[in-house]
C-alpha cells in the first residue's frame, strides 16, 4: 500500500468488509454500473465503476477495508483527477483525512469531513459527496458542509 499505511499495523485487507461495501454501493447508487475485486482469491481492493464523472465521462472508486477497520476510498478518473478519503493512523493528522484533487498526493491531505465509521455509512457518505459534486461541478462539495 502507498502513503504512510506503512507506519503501524493497520491489519490486512478484509474481503468480507469490502464485499459489504460493494453491496451497499450497488444497492444505493444507480450510476455504479459494475463492480469487481482486483483479485479473485486474495483481494486488496474492490473496484466500483461509475457511469458519470466530475471532470471525465466516467470514474472509479477503489475501496479497501482492513481487518482493523481502517479504510481507503480512492477515486480516479485517470492520471489527471484523483482524490481519496482515508482512515488510518498518520502523523500530524487525524486518522480520517482527505487527499485533495486533482493529485491526491501524500502532502495534499487535510482532515476529512467524514466522521461516521461503519462500512455502510462511510460508503453512503463517499457516494453522496461524489454525486453532489458531479451534479454541481463544485469541488468544494467533496468536503461538506465546510472544508475544515
To the nearest whole angstrom, how small is the minimum distance from the Cβ of residue 21 to another protein? Answer: 10
Q: Which of 41, 42, 81, 36 is nearest to 58 (CA)?
A: 81
- Among residues 13, 53, 59, 101, which is the contact residue for another protein, using CB under 8 A? 13
- CA distances, 129 to each of 12, 116, 124 (Å): 27, 14, 9
- Taking the complex as a whole, how short is the minimal distance between the CB of residue 105 and another protein, in angstroms? 18
- Point out which span in 10-18, 47-55, 77-85, 99-107 binds another protein (CB under 8 A): 10-18
Under the binding rule (CB under 8 A), the answer on residue 40 touching another protein is: yes
**Of residues 74, 86, 114, 130, which one binds another protein by CB under 8 A?**
114
Distance CA 71, CA 43 (A): 14
Minimum distance of another protein from residue 1's CB (angstroms): 4
Angle of CA points 112, 51, 2, to nearest 5°: 40
Spatial distance between the Cα atoms of 24 and 63, rounded to a whole number of angstroms: 12
Residues engaged in binding another protein (CB under 8 A) = 1, 5-17, 20, 39-42, 44, 66-69, 113-121, 124-125, 128-129, 144-145
Amino acid at each position: 500500500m502507498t502513503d504512510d499505511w506503512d507506519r503501524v499495523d493497520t491489519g490486512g485487507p478484509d474481503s468480507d468488509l469490502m464485499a459489504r461495501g460493494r453491496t451497499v454501493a450497488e444497492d444505493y447508487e444507480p450510476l455504479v454500473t459494475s463492480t469487481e475485486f482486483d483479485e479473485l482469491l486474495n483481494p486488496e481492493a474492490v473496484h466500483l465503476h461509475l457511469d458519470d464523472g466530475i471532470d471525465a465521462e466516467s470514474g472509479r472508486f477503489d475501496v479497501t477495508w482492513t481487518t482493523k477497520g481502517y479504510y481507503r476510498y480512492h477515486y480516479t478518473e485517470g492520471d489527471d483527477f484523483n482524490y481519496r478519503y482515508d482512515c488510518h493512523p498518520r502523523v500530524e493528522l487525524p486518522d480520517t483525512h482527505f487527499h485533495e484533487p486533482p493529485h491526491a498526493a501524500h502532502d495534499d491531505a487535510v482532515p476529512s469531513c467524514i466522521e461516521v465509521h461503519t462500512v455502510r455509512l462511510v460508503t453512503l457518505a463517499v457516494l453522496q459527496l461524489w454525486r453532489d459534486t458531479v451534479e454541481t461541478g463544485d469541488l468544494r462539495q467533496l468536503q461538506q458542509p465546510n472544508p475544515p
